[in-house]
Amino acid sequence: MGPMTSSSPRRPSPLAPEIADRLKRSADGLLPAIAQQYDTGEVLMLGWMDDEALHRTLTTGRCTYWSRSRREYWVKGDTSGHFQWVKSVALDCDADTVLVKVDQVGAACHTGARTCFDADVLLAEGTAGADSTARTDGTGTGTPGADQ
Ligand SMILES: [Zn+2]
Protein backbone atom coordinates (compact mmCIF):
# COMPACT_ATOMS: atom_id res chain seq x y z
CA MET A 1 0.00 0.00 0.00
CA GLY A 2 1.64 3.20 -1.14
CA PRO A 3 0.85 6.60 0.22
CA MET A 4 -2.21 8.25 -1.26
CA THR A 5 -1.80 11.76 -2.51
CA SER A 6 -4.59 14.02 -1.41
CA SER A 7 -4.58 16.05 -4.60
CA SER A 8 -5.47 13.24 -6.97
CA PRO A 9 -7.04 10.33 -5.18
CA ARG A 10 -6.60 7.30 -7.33
CA ARG A 11 -6.56 3.66 -6.49
CA PRO A 12 -4.14 1.61 -8.55
CA SER A 13 -5.93 0.26 -11.58
CA PRO A 14 -5.20 -1.05 -15.06
CA LEU A 15 -7.25 1.80 -16.55
CA ALA A 16 -5.42 3.17 -19.57
CA PRO A 17 -3.22 6.12 -18.49
CA GLU A 18 -4.43 8.26 -21.37
CA ILE A 19 -7.88 8.05 -19.81
CA ALA A 20 -6.89 8.01 -16.13
CA ASP A 21 -4.70 11.10 -16.48
CA ARG A 22 -7.64 13.19 -17.64
CA LEU A 23 -10.20 12.19 -15.02
CA LYS A 24 -11.30 14.83 -12.54
CA ARG A 25 -12.29 12.80 -9.54
CA SER A 26 -14.17 13.84 -6.44
CA ALA A 27 -12.30 14.08 -3.15
CA ASP A 28 -12.96 10.39 -2.57
CA GLY A 29 -11.61 9.40 -5.98
CA LEU A 30 -14.93 8.82 -7.71
CA LEU A 31 -16.83 10.03 -10.74
CA PRO A 32 -20.60 10.07 -11.04
CA ALA A 33 -21.73 7.71 -13.78
CA ILE A 34 -25.05 8.20 -15.51
CA ALA A 35 -26.62 5.16 -17.12
CA GLN A 36 -28.84 5.89 -20.09
CA GLN A 37 -30.87 3.48 -22.19
CA TYR A 38 -29.10 3.59 -25.52
CA ASP A 39 -32.13 3.47 -27.81
CA THR A 40 -34.87 5.33 -25.93
CA GLY A 41 -32.72 7.92 -24.21
CA GLU A 42 -34.21 7.12 -20.79
CA VAL A 43 -32.00 8.28 -17.93
CA LEU A 44 -31.89 5.13 -15.84
CA MET A 45 -29.79 5.73 -12.75
CA LEU A 46 -26.70 7.33 -11.32
CA GLY A 47 -23.87 5.38 -9.76
CA TRP A 48 -20.24 5.98 -8.84
CA MET A 49 -17.11 4.74 -10.50
CA ASP A 50 -13.47 4.82 -9.55
CA ASP A 51 -10.75 4.01 -12.06
CA GLU A 52 -11.12 0.26 -11.59
CA ALA A 53 -14.90 0.34 -12.01
CA LEU A 54 -14.51 2.40 -15.17
CA HIS A 55 -11.89 -0.01 -16.44
CA ARG A 56 -14.15 -2.98 -15.80
CA THR A 57 -17.09 -1.20 -17.44
CA LEU A 58 -14.95 -0.51 -20.51
CA THR A 59 -13.59 -4.03 -20.78
CA THR A 60 -16.27 -6.44 -19.53
CA GLY A 61 -19.32 -5.13 -21.36
CA ARG A 62 -21.25 -4.84 -18.12
CA CYS A 63 -21.67 -1.75 -15.95
CA THR A 64 -19.59 -1.92 -12.82
CA TYR A 65 -19.93 0.61 -10.02
CA TRP A 66 -18.33 1.39 -6.71
CA SER A 67 -20.71 1.20 -3.79
CA ARG A 68 -19.95 4.04 -1.40
CA SER A 69 -22.04 2.45 1.36
CA ARG A 70 -20.70 -1.08 1.08
CA ARG A 71 -17.25 0.02 -0.10
CA GLU A 72 -17.06 -2.63 -2.77
CA TYR A 73 -17.50 -3.06 -6.50
CA TRP A 74 -20.83 -4.20 -7.77
CA VAL A 75 -21.78 -5.38 -11.19
CA LYS A 76 -25.25 -4.24 -12.11
CA GLY A 77 -27.42 -7.33 -12.42
CA ASP A 78 -25.26 -9.74 -10.44
CA THR A 79 -27.88 -10.05 -7.72
CA SER A 80 -30.98 -8.77 -9.51
CA GLY A 81 -30.52 -10.16 -13.00
CA HIS A 82 -31.12 -6.63 -14.23
CA PHE A 83 -27.95 -6.37 -16.26
CA GLN A 84 -26.72 -3.29 -18.00
CA TRP A 85 -25.04 -4.29 -21.24
CA VAL A 86 -22.65 -1.53 -22.17
CA LYS A 87 -23.13 0.04 -25.60
CA SER A 88 -20.89 3.09 -25.30
CA VAL A 89 -19.00 5.10 -22.70
CA ALA A 90 -18.22 8.82 -22.81
CA LEU A 91 -16.75 11.48 -20.57
CA ASP A 92 -18.40 14.84 -20.31
CA CYS A 93 -16.65 18.07 -21.34
CA ASP A 94 -14.91 18.43 -17.94
CA ALA A 95 -13.95 14.74 -17.66
CA ASP A 96 -15.69 14.62 -14.29
CA THR A 97 -18.81 12.66 -15.24
CA VAL A 98 -19.23 9.38 -17.09
CA LEU A 99 -22.13 8.64 -19.42
CA VAL A 100 -22.70 4.97 -20.06
CA LYS A 101 -25.23 4.07 -22.71
CA VAL A 102 -26.54 0.62 -21.95
CA ASP A 103 -29.17 -1.91 -22.84
CA GLN A 104 -30.97 -2.23 -19.53
CA VAL A 105 -32.53 -5.58 -18.69
CA GLY A 106 -35.69 -5.05 -16.65
CA ALA A 107 -35.66 -2.42 -13.93
CA ALA A 108 -32.68 -0.15 -13.43
CA CYS A 109 -33.74 0.84 -9.91
CA HIS A 110 -33.42 -1.48 -6.95
CA THR A 111 -37.02 -0.57 -6.06
CA GLY A 112 -38.21 -2.31 -9.19
CA ALA A 113 -38.96 0.89 -11.09
CA ARG A 114 -37.70 1.11 -14.64
CA THR A 115 -35.58 4.14 -13.77
CA CYS A 116 -34.50 5.75 -10.50
CA PHE A 117 -36.35 8.89 -11.49
CA ASP A 118 -39.84 7.50 -12.07
CA ALA A 119 -41.26 7.58 -8.56
CA ASP A 120 -40.52 11.04 -7.19
CA VAL A 121 -41.42 13.64 -9.81
CA LEU A 122 -41.03 17.18 -8.49
CA LEU A 123 -42.15 18.94 -11.64
CA ALA A 124 -43.97 17.20 -14.43
CA GLU A 125 -43.87 17.89 -18.13
CA GLY A 126 -46.51 20.39 -19.22
CA THR A 127 -46.82 21.95 -15.78
CA ALA A 128 -43.59 23.92 -15.77
CA GLY A 129 -44.52 27.50 -14.91
CA ALA A 130 -47.80 29.33 -15.36
CA ASP A 131 -46.70 31.25 -18.45
CA SER A 132 -45.47 28.67 -20.91
CA THR A 133 -44.85 31.32 -23.59
CA ALA A 134 -42.14 32.85 -21.44
CA ARG A 135 -39.85 29.98 -22.27
CA THR A 136 -40.44 30.08 -26.00
CA ASP A 137 -37.15 30.61 -27.74
CA GLY A 138 -37.60 33.89 -29.57
CA THR A 139 -35.43 35.69 -32.08
CA GLY A 140 -33.50 37.85 -29.69
CA THR A 141 -36.33 40.06 -28.54
CA GLY A 142 -36.12 38.91 -24.95
CA THR A 143 -34.18 40.55 -22.18
CA PRO A 144 -30.49 40.32 -23.06
CA GLY A 145 -28.67 37.92 -20.83
CA ALA A 146 -31.86 36.85 -19.14
CA ASP A 147 -31.16 33.17 -19.50
CA GLN A 148 -27.50 33.29 -18.68
ZN1 LIG B 1 -32.89 3.59 -7.90
Q: Report residues near ion ligand 1: CB below 5 Å.
A: 109, 116
| Domain residue spans of the chain | 31-118
The alpha carbon of 93 and the centre of ligand 1 are apart by a number of angstroms equal to: 26
Chain-centre distance for alpha carbon 52: 16
Q: In CATH, what class is 31-118?
A: alpha beta
Q: Which of 113, 105, 110 is nearest to 38 (CA)?
A: 105
Residue type present at position 1: M
3-state secondary structure 36-56: EECCCCCEEEEEEECHHHHHH
pLDDT tens by residue, the chain, 148 residues: 444 444 456 777 899 999 999 999 999 999 999 999 999 999 999 999 999 999 999 999 999 999 999 999 999 999 999 999 999 999 999 999 999 999 999 999 999 999 999 999 999 988 877 665 555 555 545 555 545 4
pLDDT confidence of residue 91: 98
pLDDT confidence of residue 31: 98
pLDDT confidence of residue 148: 45
The alpha carbon of 23 and the centre of ligand 1 are apart by a number of angstroms equal to: 25
The alpha carbon of 73 and the centre of ligand 1 are apart by a number of angstroms equal to: 17
Chain-centre distance for alpha carbon 113: 17
The string of DSSP codes covering 70-112 is TTEEEETTTTTS--EEEEEEEE-TTSS-EEEEEEE-S-SSTTS
Letter string b/e over residues 23-42, b meaning 16 or more CB atoms within 10 A of that residue's CB: bebeeebbbebbbbbbeeeb
The answer to whether 132 touches 108, Cβ cutoff 8 Å, is no
The alpha carbon of 134 and the centre of ligand 1 are apart by a number of angstroms equal to: 34
The alpha carbon of 62 and the centre of ligand 1 are apart by a number of angstroms equal to: 18
The alpha carbon of 51 and the centre of ligand 1 are apart by a number of angstroms equal to: 23
pLDDT confidence of residue 5: 44
